[in-house]
Amino acid sequence: MTSPRLVLLLAFLTGSALSFAPSPLHRHHALLKSPSTTTTLSAGGFEWEDPTSEQADQHVDNPFKNPELLKSKEGDDDSLKVDPARLLSPRLQGCNVYFIGMMGSGKSAVGDTVARRMGTYNFLDTDIILERATGMTIPQIFEDEGEDAFRDAEAQVLDSVHAHVRCVISTGGGLVVRNQNWSKLQTGLVVYLKVEPEVIMKRIEGTDRPLLQTENPLETLKKLTEERRERYEQADVTVEIDGSMGVKETADLCVRMLHDFIDDNPPAWKQAKAKAQEDGLDWESDGLDWVNDREMEGYVVWELSNDT
């Protein structure tokens, strides 16, 4: 049961958490070409261009499948004309990216790196927001309030930040254990950083992780990993990391796998548009009116699914 003290803190948590979120003022009209002819939709509490419009669809392809983007002018294979991460933003169209995984898997470091390289996305860390909002460290919350109270507060933070768009969000390792949190995570794309417990133990040696204060921390970590494995594997993208991979290498792999996921799971409107063109229909005049429910069944819609 959540203690009275933490209940009081949670009463202010939403406002505090949102105060750490980025200002929306610079995010929503940077790519707007002709406002007078663009259809706006509501997503995440903000107005957005209709993704089916020509103005909104920038026709950005997977850079890893475009040799011209991956080769430098001098022919140096190690140098790119364009950072593939920079091209993720227009392809995601505002969809959030959530990093999940065990403690020490690198969610914060990798998530921050990916967001910085994307340029138009912001990075949020649910653990940092929780600590700032409550004025307590994670170990202190565990010690003073207990794990259940911590999970309550953690879920409240996720409720607050998931309403934002154009964010890369690092989450706590145990956030996946509650079903209610998955309803928020699934409004975006979820990336699981999969790291073996032995590698994690080397990374977090000397830290005060609350759940590892046991006689055999490695065995405890293995048990926790196995208990959460099924939840973690629900992620859209699973990135396997070995002990030799640093932050840059992991971020590079995440970016590539996200591009590939987008290719393999195009939004419903793109599938509908392609089908309309194949059938010789006038997409511009007919729009989506020709698509019936049965034809749309099973399609994946992700880029505007984080409305609240």
Query: What's the pLDDT at 82?
Result: 82
Residue 38 scores a pLDDT above 60:
no
**Confidence category of residue 72, pLDDT binned at 50, 70, 90:** low
CA 117 to chain centre: 14
Cα(79)–Cα(81) distance, integer angstroms? 7
Tally the C-alpha atoms within 13 A of residue 178's C-alpha that lie toward its C-beta: 20
Could you tell me which residues come within 8 angstroms of residue 45 by beta carbon, excluding any fewer than 6 positions away? 163, 164, 307, 308
Cα(168)–Cα(97) distance, integer angstroms? 5
Higher pLDDT, 23 or 210: 210
Rounded percentage of the chain residues whose pLDDT exceeds 70? 67
Residue 119 scores a pLDDT above 60:
yes
Mean pLDDT to the nearest integer, 10-35: 43
Mean confidence (pLDDT) of the chain: 78
Query: Which tokens is 225 given?
Result: 């990993």
Q: How many helices (H) and strands (E) does the chain have?
A: 15, 7
Mean pLDDT to the nearest integer, 175-198: 95
Query: What's the pLDDT at 151?
Result: 93
pLDDT digits (tens, 9 = 90+) for 130-152: 999 889 999 999 989 999 999 99
Query: Which tokens is 62 given?
Result: 């997977």
Higher pLDDT, 141 or 48: 141
Q: Please state the pTM of the whole predicted model.
A: 0.75
Mean pLDDT to the nearest integer, 231-256: 96
pLDDT digits (tens, 9 = 90+) for 257-267: 999 999 998 87
**Confidence category of residue 6, pLDDT binned at 50, 70, 90:** low
Q: Please give the backbone phi and psi of residue 302, each rounded to the nearest 5 degrees, phi first.
A: -125, -25
